[in-house]
Amino acid sequence: MSVKERDPLTGHQTTGHEWNGITELNTRVPRAIWFFIIVTHVWALFYWVLMPAWPTVNTYTKGLLGVDQRQQVEARVAAADAKRSSWSDPITSLTLDEVRSDPTLMAHVQRTAPALFGDNCAACHGAQAQGGPGYPSLVDQAWLWGADDETVLETLRVGINAPHPESRFSQMMAFGRDGLLDREQIRIAADYVQSLSRPAEEINADRLAAGATLFEENCASCHGEDGTGSQDLGAPDLTDEHWIYGGDEKSIFNTIFHGRQGWMPAWEQRLSETERRILTIYLGQLKETHHDD
Amino acid sequence: MLQRLTIAERQLALAISIAVILAGLLMAAAGSGDPMGPHGAIVMFAGAIVFLAVLRVIQDPEPLEDRAENYYDDPTRVGLLISLGWAVIGMGMGVWVAAQLAWPDLRFDAAWSSFGRIRPVHTSGVIFGFGGNALIATSFHVMQRTSRARLAGHVAPWFVLLGFNLFCVIAASGYLMGVTQSKEYAEPEWYADLWLVVVWVIYFVLYIRTLARRNEPHIYVANWYYLAFILVVAVLHIVNNLAVPASFAGAKSYSAFAGVQDAMTQWWYGHNAVAFFLTAGFLGMLYYFLPKRAERPIYSYRLSILSFWGITFFYIWAGSHHLHYTALPQWVQTLGMTFSVMLLVPSWASAGNALMTLNGAWHKVRDDATLRFMMVAAVFYGLSTFEGSFMAVRAVNSLSHYTDWTVGHVHAGAMGWVALITFGSIYAVVPTLWQRETMYSWKLVEWHFWLALAGTVIYVFAMWNSGITQGLMWRTYTESGTLTYSFTDTLVAMHPYYVARAAGGALFLAGAILAAINVYLTIRNVPQKRTEGDYPTPSEATEPAVPVAE
């Protein structure tokens, strides 16, 4: 079909080719297309002149505006830091109690803390700091290493069982796995441990006495004679209602059999001192609010 | 079907299948204890299936068919069916990953079902499995019709089709075992990549040889696009996958590039995978099936030339817009951004050319869901290319980058453009290919159209909302100059949109299932009728090389 036909609908000629029934019109490129090609190209040209754009042999064209993304971001970060320093400096230099008594500073703490906690702590300790299996609650009264300002600040700084050189260290041995106790002994010890927080439950007196002996020989060095634990060693209180890994018989058995070693990152490199102080104040508030409920 | 091969061709196929089995054996032996081992078993299994299929007909007599009288459509038919199969698998995985984002427990605590492993099964499943097979199949169909020539070779098209699917299966099964190069859309490891190079070079040679024997003096636009797709994807694939295997006995390699060069190479690849796999190839489909279905001449040959060269030239530069505000030097970002904006006009010229072609056929768009698929695809092509150029502007990108907006943009293109043009083309080509009067049910096509459109719109709107909300929350500061929202806060805000996205995806999947059922019923139940003139014929006349101006 070499004859160029005229399409009756548009009045345009075809190119004269045909491919399995398909033909093409030889319509001119609409003016709008040329217009927008010119607009976009001229815009690009301007952009190239003004901004870093084309590589040369050893460097690149810097652009008339002298813009550099690195300098820009550094300047903006510095400006934001400077703006925050009006309140972040006092939070770092004053004592936490002094901060607590200053309503202006506390307003900054209130605004900043929730996102800080959400981004750094909530993944393990829960959105409401309520903890979960394997992760301690931060709103109860049972604190492994102590809940006073200095201790919490230090725990945040160095972490627990973290690679930080000054990290807090605490490990419960795997009594079953490492063959220190057999399964029956572990069951007896577990019953005894459970009885510490639930004295009302009926357990055979002989079994209880055997459990007490096992406890004294294996557990008391960390958890104390009476099982109330030690904040110096990070050993939990076994007589209260709070359990990190579960207080039912099976969980206690597993804990004694396999041992436990919780892990919390050291935040010294990741969070500034101001941020760790804000979090410490915030945790104290969370605990109080929760206690009031 | 295989009886149509000559005995010599059958012997060649048998020899290739034996070579594949041996290669699989080698992989299984060398890679035992590594994911390469199971991959070796898969390769052996694939080789064995072909071996047995060919062995069954090896003693049959030579075919009587006069090959000059017919096109060779067997690989096209098989390719389209495989493509529909991958559509259901790939989109099904998509619905699952979307549901996992809304309800994380749907992982069911297995390693293979974790998000990071099944997401690439979804992306590779739809892009390579569904899209790739549809491209290969339709390219075989279109190049024969527009060249008025039979495929140059009978073993080669099978090698390309089945070899490509072996690559897809190795890719998908590898992801589930944790095998990945960690490069988006280029996850498969070194041996799968090498295999794809072999397959792709043969595809290219087959295409060129078929074009060389054409009975038409001119090469139709669709073939320009298919050829650009095949050629550039080969270049992209080879360069981005340059890597050194850690061991020849294992599925682990190290990229030849490091640091920001690696990132730049990856996104040069990634963006041009969008350009040449998901755009150029499907424009080839559009340029053939849309005018054919509408029975209208292409609006403007000149516009076709302008947009083809515009798209192929500008796209190659645009990849660095994926790395705005990163360690990538700013001048590279500038080039990526400006070329992305300049790319908009040729892209819209393509979409416009398609839509203007429909002038005089809009009543058909109204009545015929198949043509409507193609029309809406062209509209979504225009929308997503505009959105893409817009998002490539650094200031916009500072909000959209790393958010669901990107995901929404990709899906506007992948669902609205790529999948709709593919389904439209499938509905157009199936009756011709199987020599049927018509599709089994036009009602089902109509249902599919509305399900797909609704699914796409729900998906894209959900992700726009989610992405912009997310981006704004990330950059909201309190009066103190500290972040207002934690990352978890943004997840809570996004949850309703994630539910909506999963629902939109489910509608889209339902449409794809209807397509598969409809095609099956067409092949089984619709009476035979051969399309007129569907055989190679010599060109009727010589034509002037340069069209005369109006």
Contact predicate B133/B79, CB 8 Å: yes
CA distance B389 to chain A (A): 11
Q: How far is CA B471 from CA A80, B452, B458, B484, in A?
A: 20, 28, 20, 13
Residue-wise pLDDT tens digits, B187-226 = 999 999 999 999 999 999 999 999 999 998 899 999 999 9
What is the C-alpha to C-alpha distance for residues A71 and A255, in angstroms, rounded to an integer? 54
Say which range, A32-41, A87-96, A103-112, A193-202, has the weakest mean pLDDT: A193-202
pTM, entire model: 0.92
In the predicted structure, residue B546 carries a pLDDT above the cut 80: no
Domain boundaries, chain A: 1-67, 71-167+264-292, 183-258
If one looks up domain A71-167+264-292 in CATH, what number appears?
1.10.760.10
Per-window interface: A 102-141 vs B, CB < 8 A: 107-108, 111-112, 114-119, 122, 127
Q: Averaged over A271-279, what is the pLDDT?
A: 97
CA distance A126 to chain B (A): 11
**A54 in contact with chain B, both atoms CB, cutoff 8 A:** yes
Q: What is the DSSP letter of B62?
A: P
Give the rounded percent of residues in chain B with a pLDDT score beyond 90. Answer: 94
Could you tell me which chain B residue has the CA closest to the CA of A68? B330
Single-letter code of the amino acid located at A193:
V
**β-bridge mates for residue A235, sequence order:** A230
Give the rounded percent of residues in chain A with a pLDDT score beyond 90. Answer: 83
Tell me the two tokens of residue A24.
């093409």
- Angle formed by the axes of helices B420-433 and B369-391, nearest 10°: 150
CA atoms within 13 A on the CB side of B429: 28
pLDDT of B545 reads 43
Say which range, B233-242, B270-279, B524-533, has the weakest mean pLDDT: B524-533
Superfamily in which the A183-258 domain is placed by CATH:
Cytochrome c-like domain (1.10.760.10)
What is the C-alpha to C-alpha distance for residues B16 and A48, in angstroms, rounded to an integer? 53
Residue-wise pLDDT tens digits, A143-192 = 999 999 999 999 999 999 999 999 999 999 999 999 999 999 999 999 99
B154 in a known ligand binding site: no
> Which residues have a Cβ under 8 Å from the Cβ of B231 and sit 6 or more positions away?
B204
Contact predicate A20/B71, CB 8 Å: no
The burial of B129, by beta-carbon neighbours within 10 Å (0-12 exposed, 13-18 middle, 19 or more buried), is given as buried
CA A129 and chain centroid, separation: 12
Three-state SS string across chain A, please? CCCCCECCCCCCEECCCCECCECEEECCCCHHHHHHHHHHHHHHHHHHHHCCCCECCCCECCCCCCCCHHHHHHHHHHHHHHHHHHHHHHHHHCCHHHHHCCHHHHHHHHHHHHHHHHHHCHHHHCCCCCCECCECCCCCCCCCCCCCHHHHHHHHHHCECCCCCCCECCCECCCCCCCCCCHHHHHHHHHHHHHHHCCCCCCCHHHHHHHHHHHHHHCHHHHCCCCCCECCCCECCCCCCCCCCCCCHHHHHHHHHHCECCCECCCCCCCCHHHHHHHHHHHHHHHHHHHHC
What is the C-alpha to C-alpha distance for residues B8 and B341, in angstroms, rounded to an integer? 53
The tokens 């097979």 sit on which residue? B133
Q: Averaged over B291-304, what is the pLDDT?
A: 96
The sign of the CA dihedral B155, B157, B158, B164 is positive
The length of chain A, given as a count of residues: 293
Tell me the two tokens of residue A237.
């209180």
Chain A positions in Cβ-Cβ contact with residue B550 (cut-off 8 Å): 12-13, 26, 28
The sign of the CA dihedral A185, A190, A196, A199 is negative
Residue-wise pLDDT tens digits, B339-360 = 999 999 999 999 999 999 999 9
Residue-wise pLDDT tens digits, B435-449 = 999 999 999 999 999
Q: Averaged over A128-132, what is the pLDDT?
A: 91
Inter-chain residue contact A33 with B303, CB threshold 8 Å: yes
Cβ-Cβ contacts under 8 Å between A and B: the total is: 178
In the predicted structure, residue B550 carries a pLDDT above the cut 50: no
B271 in a known ligand binding site: yes
Chain B positions in Cβ-Cβ contact with residue A112 (cut-off 8 Å): 478, 480, 482-483
In the structure, what pLDDT confidence band is assigned to residue A142 with cuts at 50, 70 and 90?
confident
CA distance A26 to chain B (A): 5
Tell me the two tokens of residue B63.
């075919």
β-pairing, B243-245 with B253-255? antiparallel
**β-bridge mates for residue B300, sequence order:** A26
pLDDT of A293 reads 53
In the structure, what pLDDT confidence band is assigned to residue B538 with cuts at 50, 70 and 90?
low
Same fold, A71-167+264-292 and A183-258: yes
B122 in a known ligand binding site: yes
Q: How high is the mean pLDDT of chain B?
A: 95
Return the exposure string of B136-159: e unless at least 16 CB atoms fall within 10 Å of the residue's CB, then b.
bbbbbbbbbbbbbbbbbbbbbbbb
Chain B positions in Cβ-Cβ contact with residue A122 (cut-off 8 Å): 486, 488
